[in-house]
């Protein structure tokens, strides 16, 4: 259960416009006003590695919350096994017009159309470089400017700036809120983009791992093509999935808003894509499962479907920062009760979820 302080803070934030509430939560974290566990829960069952990075547990924070790397230190004390900030673009940009963030409370969901609003890669990477490393890996989600004439070059440019500052990089070609960005998920375009990012990464002595985040709205042919590129590209893993453009079965009055839908309604769609990607990759790359994870059962299901790790974000809005610690402890207890391991669980029900 979340604390009374956390519940009261969340109730106060829900009285505000969603984007203002988001900004205030960042300020509250920076000022030390949010109760945090202090360290990530770990155990022999939960401790794992992701592309060579040691993680205390497999429960991470997805990109989008701390877009400008303003509160890295408190986020690394919030119970997460790893943290992803951003997305960062080469130049600062304001994003799409407001309002652009909507709570679908009845659906336990969020719709956003931020459009990569951020302070620019130089400012973000400077904060990443200045941080004290540890206790958990901190990665950067990288994107392209809305008005860029060469978006693939944008990704490579941010990678070159971030390679020595971030513990990992995520290529984000799956946000629905930058026009035609998802076109970069096509096989030829994606292969070329990845080559550019890896070349930029390899110029750094640090050579952080690189992941690719995919959309949940891919048909089977597109997913198979994309998986083939990922297998042969030299990247270190995949993240499945980003937000969706579909709007099935929603109850909220905000259901018709444009943008990416995240939260509980995304769970089944994203888990199905995850399972299908797992089968296509045939164990060649680790997968981080994200989309609708708000409980131990949902994290467990993602792992069964093929994820070795999970990320959460939208559920934090409804349940607070204690959620990461609760999921990690719950996974540990269930692994013990069922006498299994994360490795044995991963993909054990992929066929069922892919159907």
Q: What is the pLDDT of residue 174?
A: 87
Q: What is the pLDDT confidence band of residue 185, given thresholds at 50, 70 and 90? A: confident
Q: How far apart are CA 141 and CA 149, in angstroms?
A: 20
Q: Three-state secondary structure along the chain?
A: CCCHHHHHHHHHHCCCCHHHHHHHHHHHHHCCCCCCCCCCCCCCCCCEEECCEEECCCEEECCCCCCCCCCHHHHCCCCCCEEEEEEECCCCECCCCCCCEEEEHHHCEEEECCCCCECCHHHHHHHHHHCCCCCCCEEEEECCCCCCCCHHHHHHHHHHHHCCCCCEEEEECCCCCCCCHHHHHCHHHHHHHHHHHHHHHHCCCCCCCEEEEECCCCCHHHHHHHHHHHHHHCCCEEEECCCECCCCCCCCCCCCCCCEEEEHHHHHHHHHHHHHHHHHHCCCCCEEEECCCCCHHHHHHHHHHCCCEEEECHHHHHHCCHHHHHHHHHHHHHHHHCCCCHHHHCCCCHHHHHC
Cα 278 from chain centroid? 17
Task: Please state, rounded to an integer, the average pLDDT across all residues of the chain.
Answer: 96
**pLDDT, tens only, 152-171:** 999 999 999 999 999 999 99
Q: How far apart are CA 68 and CA 73, in angstroms?
A: 13
Q: What is the pLDDT of residue 255?
A: 97
Q: Which whole-number Å values give the CA distances from 3 to 6, 10, 224, 330, in the listed order?
A: 5, 11, 44, 17
pLDDT score of 286 more than 70: yes
Sheet holding 101-104, edge to edge: 101-104, 109-112, 260-263
Residue with tokens 């719950």: 330
Residue with tokens 């006003």: 33
pLDDT score of 150 more than 70: yes
Domain spans in the chain, listed from the N-terminal domain onward: 4-354
Q: Is 314 a catalytic residue?
A: no
Q: Which whole-number Å values give the CA distances from 147 to 90, 95, 150, 153, 228, in the listed order?
A: 11, 11, 9, 13, 30
pLDDT score of 348 more than 80: yes
Average pLDDT over residues 284-308: 98
Q: Which of 25, 148, 160, 175 does the annotation list as catalytic?
A: 175
pLDDT score of 2 more than 70: no
Q: What is the pLDDT confidence band of residue 191, given thresholds at 50, 70 and 90? A: very high
Q: What is the pLDDT of residue 34?
A: 92
Q: How far apart are CA 262 and CA 156, in angstroms?
A: 27
**pLDDT, tens only, 32-82:** 999 999 999 999 999 999 999 999 999 999 999 999 999 999 999 999 999
**pLDDT, tens only, 22-42:** 999 999 999 999 999 999 999
Q: What is the pLDDT confidence band of residue 244, given thresholds at 50, 70 and 90? A: very high
Residue with tokens 């989600």: 141
Q: pLDDT higher for 8 or 141?
A: 141
The partner residues of 170 in beta bridges, in order of sequence, read 141, 211
The C-alpha R_g of the chain, in whole angstroms, comes to 19
The CATH topology of domain 4-354 is: TIM Barrel (3.20.20)
Q: What is the pLDDT of residue 186?
A: 85
Q: What is the pLDDT of residue 9?
A: 85
Average pLDDT over residues 275-303: 98
pLDDT score of 1 more than 70: no
Comparing CA positions, the residue from 331, 315, 328, 326 lying closest to residue 62 is 315
Average pLDDT over residues 183-198: 92
**pLDDT, tens only, 84-133:** 999 999 999 999 999 999 999 999 999 999 999 999 999 999 999 999 99
Q: What is the pLDDT of residue 322?
A: 95
Average pLDDT over residues 311-323: 96
């Amino acid at each position: 259960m979340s604390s009374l302080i956390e519940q009261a803070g969340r109730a106060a934030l829900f009285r505000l416009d969603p984007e203002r509430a988001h900004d205030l939560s960042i300020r509250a974290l920076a000022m030390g006003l949010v109760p945090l566990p202090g360290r990530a829960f770990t155990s022999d069952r939960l401790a794992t590695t992701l592309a060579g990075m040691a993680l205390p547990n497999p429960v991470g924070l997805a990109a989008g919350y701390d877009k400008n790397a303003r509160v890295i230190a408190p986020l690394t004390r919030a119970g997460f096994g790893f943290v992803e900030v951003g997305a960062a673009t080469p130049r600062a940009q304001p994003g799409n017009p407001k309002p652009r963030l909507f709570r679908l409370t009845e659906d336990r969901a969020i719709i956003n159309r931020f459009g990569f609003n951020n302070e620019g890669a130089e400012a973000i990477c400077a904060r990443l470089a200045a941080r004290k490393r540890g206790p958990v890996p901190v990665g950067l989600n990288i994107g392209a400017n809305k008005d860029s004439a060469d978006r693939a070059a944008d990704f490579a440019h941010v990678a070159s700036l971030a390679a020595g500052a971030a513990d990992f990089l995520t290529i984000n070609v799956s946000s629905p809120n930058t026009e035609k960005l998802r076109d970069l998920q096509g096989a030829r375009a994606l292969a070329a983009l990845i080559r550019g990012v890896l070349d930029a990464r390899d110029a750094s002595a640090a050579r952080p791992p690189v992941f690719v985040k995919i959309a949940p709205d891919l048909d089977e042919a597109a997913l198979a093509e994309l998986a083939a590129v990922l297998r042969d590209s030299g990247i270190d893993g995949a993240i499945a999935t980003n937000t969706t453009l579909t709007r099935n079965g929603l109850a909220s009055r905000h259901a018709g808003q444009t943008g990416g839908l995240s939260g509980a309604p995304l769970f089944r769609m994203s888990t199905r894509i995850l399972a299908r990607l797992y089968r296509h990759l045939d164990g060649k790359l680790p997968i981080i499962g994200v989309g609708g994870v708000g409980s131990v059962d949902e994290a467990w299901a993602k792992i069964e479907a093929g994820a070795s790790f999970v990320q959460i974000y939208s559920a934090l809005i409804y349940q607070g920062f204690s959620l990461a610690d609760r999921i990690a402890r719950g996974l540990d207890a269930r692994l013990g009760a069922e006498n299994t391991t994360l490795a044995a669980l991963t993909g054990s029900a992929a066929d069922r979820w892919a159907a």
